[in-house]
Structure 1
């Protein structure tokens, strides 16, 4: 899990999971840039409409709840560390 959270591009994911991460990152960072092409890529990697729908719902929920927490200044639980800090700490420090 640490390899994925610190840098999914270097985690050695299979092509389908890498495509899903590309999709999640784009939906998170540039949602207005999403296009039918993004769905086609997922379909080419074996995702059906239900899987794409479910992934989109989960990705969107996490984006939503993170924005709400940020806006309200919600403190994270003590066992949760920001991804950037985990990546800096290196393997075995999650």
Structure 2
């Protein structure tokens, strides 16, 4: 993804020049993270109406779960946060291989 678009999303995903499916997913993920008790069936229906498949919704939810868990552990154990170069490297790895363990 274009670096300017990434910067725009990080600044404000609501106004960034992104696909409406991604905007809907980000709104859902924000709600899932900040107010999970307020999620209702209509939230999932909206995602489907925006073109997200059930598989995409599941995967986004799973990634949100994993990041939420990691962030809580990182805060509790004071993990070192990678710099921008390290974060970019990690991002490329995850983009290439996903969140599944490599065969080994």
**TM-score band, normalised by shorter chain:** 0.7 to 0.9
Aligned to 2:47: 42
TM-score for the superposition, normalised by structure 1: 0.76
Counterpart check, 1:33 vs 2:38: yes
Deviates more, 1:12-21 or 1:35-44: 12-21
Distance 1:33 1:71 in 2: 26
Matches within 5 A, 1:1-94: 1-79=6-84
TM-score for the superposition, normalised by structure 2: 0.69
**Could you tell me how far 1:47 is from its partner in structure 2?**
1.2
Unaligned runs of 5+ in 2: 1-5, 86-104
Q: 4+ residue runs of structure 1 moved beyond 4 angstroms?
A: none
Count of aligned pairs: 80
Distance 1:37 1:71 in 2: 34
Unaligned runs of 5+ in 1: 81-94
